[in-house]
Structure formats: structure tokens, C-alpha cells
Amino acid sequence: MDSSQSQSDPEEEMSFEKNISQDFSTDGYSGSRHRTFGRERGGFPHHRLVILSLGLLNAVLLIAAIVIGIYCAKAKHDYLLAPDSAAAPLIIEMNYLRNYSSVIKAKVDAQTELHKRRANHVTLKMQVKEQKIITDRLQGQIETLNKEKANLDSNKTLLEENCGRCRPGWLFRKSSCYYFSSLHASNSKKNWMDSRAHCKSEGGDLLVIDNLEEQLLIGNNLPKMSSSSLWWQNGFWIGLTDVVTEGTWVWINNVTEVQTMYWKDGYPNNDGRQSARCAALLYYADGRKTWYNGHCQNHHYNWICEMEPNLTPQITLT
């Protein structure tokens, strides 16, 4: 029994290998019969099984892809919405960088605009400087012209007012001619006696004030002096003394001064010094209080001369 079985096995193996060889060497058809792995045509064709398997595999893969896509979309949505997720710091950093880029651009634009404005500012400063130079030059010319005009007006006034009534350098005021030594740069201050001698050499004498109107008139033509410890050095000699009798002030035209309303407060200062016997005046604040007494010989002041005008002036036209 064993020997018969062993003899049949090799034969079956050879028959099976032969069938397989025929299957791979032919198109599966032999006459009216089809052989597949030693089976008749009545069996299930192998290529249809392969196609069906591939179709099922594609369907499974498609379903898997759809499921994975849905899962990934949901995971991405949850990832973006989750505030405590790992992506939150990255999103914050991205927003910060985006904002920082905007700030950098704004800074660059601002620096560019600042540079332009600085350039315009420098240009404007140069223009203002040039304009100031021109303005200063014009202002200097205007001041020079104003001084020349003032001199011309002064000369015109003197010519119109004097019209031959007063000597050159004298001013005609009201009904008298007056000479103010301070208006002439060539004059130096003198004592009372030398001042009177100068007035006499001009044909007049030291000022005699007859009334309040003349007192105020003289004050209006004197320079206004500020208060100082040496104010008395800027005074003007007038023709009033008490040389003959101490305390009795007499004008040089022998008229005794009775009303003493024009003395400064505290004057005349009769301190017993024989030389403080001559009067001077200085306009300070109150036009009614301008007189004070000084040393006739030792003090040197400016002076005021007075003379009668020429009532029939002779005008020579050239």
C-alpha cells in the first residue's frame, strides 16, 4: 500500500506542474475548454478576482482618505481655536512681527519726513538770516535819514523862528532869545563869573526869569536829568545871587526875588559859606522846583544867556 501511494504521488506532481505550465504558456483557452491551475472553465476566472480586489482596496483607501481629511480638518480647526494650544505663542509672535513691521515702516517714513522738514528748516533759517541782514541795513539807513531829517527840521525851525531876530546859535522863544551852552559841543563848563562874561560878549546876560510861564518854558527846553548823587554838577547858571546881602536874592537886573516858589526842596542852603551865593537850575521832576545855590567861584556848570530879539530883522537873500 505504501509503495502504490508513493508511485502515484510523483505522477500527480508532474500532472500539476504540467497544468501550471500550460496555464502560463497559453491564454487560458484550449479549444472549447479553459484551464486555470488545473481546473476546468467552470471555475471563477482569476483576473476578475484581481480587479474586484483592487476595486475594494481603492474604495477602502478612498474612505480612509476621507476620514483622515475630516479628522485633519477638525484637528486644524481645534488647533487654531484652542487658546492654550502650542500654536498660540506662534500666532502671537506672528501678529507681533506683523505689527512690528508696520512700526518699522512708519519709523522709516517718519525719519524721511523729518529729514525733509529739517532741510526746509535750514533753508528757512538761511532766508530769515538774509532777510534780517537786509532789514538791519534798511533800519540803519532809516535811522540815518531820520537824523538828517531832524537836523534839517531843527535848522528849518531856527531859520523860521529866528528870521534874523536872534544871533546864530540862539533860540527864539516867546519874546526873547536864549542861548543854552550845553547845545554847543565846543563849550566847556564855567563858573558863574565866566559864564556871565560869555553872555555879555554875545550881547546878552545870564537868564532872568520873570514869571512862571518863562520858568516852565526854560524847563521844557532843558535836558531831563535822572537823579544821582552828583546831580548838581549838571545844572545851568542863571542871573540870580545874594552876593550883596546874604539871604536876599537879587537878579542881575537889580530886581529882588521875593517869591521863592521855584527853589528845590531844602534850598537855598545858607550854610554860612560865602561862595555859595549864586543860583543855578536843573530840571528834574517838578518844573516849579528847579533852583538851587552853588559856589560861584569853585563850581563849574553850564549856563543860559538871554537877550532881547531884533525887532526889525534884516533878511538878505542870496
Task: Identify the pLDDT of residue 206.
Answer: 97
**For residue 75, is it within any domain?**
no
Please name the residue ranges forming H helices in the chain.
Answer: 2-25, 46-81, 87-162, 192-201, 212-220
Q: Which range of residues forms the domain containing residue 105?
A: 90-161
In a domain, 297, yes or no: yes
Q: Is residue 59 part of a domain?
A: no
CA dihedral for 19, 25, 28, 32, sign (positive or negative): negative
pLDDT digits (tens, 9 = 90+) for 63-98: 988 988 888 887 766 655 555 556 677 777 777 777
Same domain? For 188 and 227 the reply is yes
pLDDT digits (tens, 9 = 90+) for 154-165: 666 656 556 678
- Quick check: is 251 in a domain? yes
Give the separation between CA 110 and CA 116, rounded to whole angstroms.
10
Please, are residues 300 and 190 in contact by the beta-carbon 8 Å criterion?
A: yes
Same domain for 197 and 148? no
Taking the C-alpha atoms of residue 219 and residue 158, their distance in angstroms, rounded to an integer, is 19
φ, ψ of residue 30 in degrees (nearest 5): -140, 100
Q: Are strands 176-180 and 302-307 parallel, antiparallel or unpaired?
A: antiparallel
Q: What is the pTM for the complete model shown?
A: 0.50
265 and 284 assigned to the same domain: yes
**Residues 220, 270 within the same domain:** yes
**Same domain (yes/no): 269, 151:** no
Question: Of 123, 138, 161, which one is at a domain's C-terminal end?
Answer: 161
- Residues whose CB is less than 8 angstroms from the CB of residue 9 and which lie 6 or more positions away in sequence, other chains included: none
* Predicted local distance difference test score (pLDDT) of residue 138: 92
| Residue among 184, 169, 285, 182 at smallest CA distance from 237 | 182
> pLDDT of 180-230, one tens digit each?
998 887 778 999 999 999 999 999 999 999 999 999 999 888 866 655 667
In the chain, the number of structural domains is: 2
| Same-domain pairing of 156 and 180 | no
How far, in Å, CA of 137 to CA of 208, rounded?
48
pLDDT at 243 > cutoff 80: yes
* CATH code, domain with 266: 3.10.100.10
Residues 211 and 288 in one domain: yes
Residue 256 lies in a domain: yes
Asked if residue 205 and residue 118 are part of one domain, the reply reads no
**Is there a single domain that holds both residue 190 and residue 150?**
no
Task: For the chain, give percent helix, strand, coil, nearest 5.
Answer: 50, 15, 35
C-alpha cell at 81: 481655536
Strand partners, 303: 237
Question: Which residue in 275, 156, 262 sits closest to 208, CA to CA?
Answer: 262
